[in-house]
Amino acid sequence: MSVYAESSAVLSWLLDEESSAEVRRLLAAQDVVIASDLTLIECDRVILRAAAVGELTEGEAAERRAHLTEASSHWQILRISPEVVDRARSPFPGEPIRTLDAIHLASALVARAAVPGLKLLSLDDRVRRVARAIGIELLPA
């Protein structure tokens, strides 16, 4: 199985939120994990922000960034290419769609064109609603 890992799911795992065990299990079960540059940027920014405002210690933040670096070294990283930008600039069902969500959805569509059967791993209800509307299978189901 193959999955596009969207930021909300990866952050749940990194921040040890309620769904972290399920996300970790789903990621480990995949033959191929694809993530966008955007996933890595958003995860790093959330961790940096959490440390800056005192929600994480510097040590905790460094540990979480190390986990992300280790995990993502085994993922296929999808660049924010002109094809992704063009699709993200086009309408999606259920507009308005937030900019970063549009980039994730466009990235998932581009990745799915190369990897048939690709599913989207997301915990974000807005992203999941649009993904469902454009025919992308979701994890968790």
| Cα gap 90→27, rounded to integer Å | 29
Crossing angle of the two packed helices 20-28 and 7-14, in degrees rounded to 10: 110
Cα atoms found within 13 Å of the Cα of residue 17, Cβ hemisphere only: 11
Q: What structural domains and CATH numbers belong to the chain? A: 2-139 (3.40.50.1010)
pTM attached to this predicted model = 0.94
C-alpha triplet 123, 2, 99: angle, nearest 5°? 45
pLDDT, one tens digit per residue, over 15-57 is: 999 999 999 999 999 999 999 999 999 999 999 999 999 999 9
DSSP string, 93-137: TTS---HHHHHHHHHHHHHHHHSTT-EEE---HHHHHHHHHTT--
pLDDT, one tens digit per residue, over 93-137 is: 989 999 999 999 999 999 999 999 999 999 999 999 999 999 999
Cα atoms found within 13 Å of the Cα of residue 88, Cβ hemisphere only: 19
